[in-house]
Amino acid sequence: MSDAFTTRVLHVSSGSRERVVDLTGDCEAFLREAADGRDGLLNVFVPHATAGVAIMETGAGSDDDLLTALHTLLPADDRWQHRHGSPGHGRDHVLPALVPPHATLPVVEGRLELGTWQSVCLVDTNRDNAERRVRLSFLGH
């Protein structure tokens, strides 16, 4: 594989409750190895139909605020046509339309170019799937 493109899969246990999981440290660790001080792009992709990737502040209540907002927009009730799994699971399949399953971020001199309070997060509202994969891919020169 060319050193211009490197990819790795993270295995994330999101548990049996709705969660926002901060992946920033995992992304930084991957870039220390893959980017090796170079400029490029980091793509973060969740290959699941019921999870997404958000760039947001964490730790100050914003992660809980996001989950609350998603409950308002996508209530976990019986209104959904998609009905397998736990009650209201159909909303989990709508989530990626609002919180996309990917993000592409600039990397400068091997480091993520995030704003002061920004973190890379997995957003998982699906209580039926506690194990997630997240693909990190670096394309650089």
Look up the domain containing 14 and give its range.
5-140
Q: For residues 113 and 106, is the Cβ–Cβ distance under 8 A? A: yes
Query: What's the number of domains the chain is made of?
Result: 1
Instruction: Report the alpha-carbon distance of residue 141 to residue 131 in Å, rounded.
Output: 33
pLDDT, tens digit only, all 141 positions of the chain: 457 999 999 999 988 889 999 999 999 999 999 999 999 999 999 999 999 999 999 989 999 999 999 999 999 898 999 888 888 899 999 999 999 999 999 999 999 999 999 999 999 999 888 899 999 999 998
Give me the pLDDT at residue 1, please. 43
Residues 101, 52 contacting (CB under 8 angstroms): yes
Sheet holding 119-124, edge to edge: 19-22, 119-124, 51-56
CATH of the domain at 46: 2.60.120.460
In this structure, the strands spanning 119-124 and 19-22 are antiparallel
Do residues 123 and 66 make contact, with C-beta atoms less than 8 angstroms apart? yes
- 103 token code pair: 């993000």
User: Distances from the Cα of 33 to the Cαs of 50, 90, 98, 106, in angstroms?
Assistant: 30, 39, 32, 16
- Amino acid type, 106: P
Q: Which amino acid is at 111?
A: R
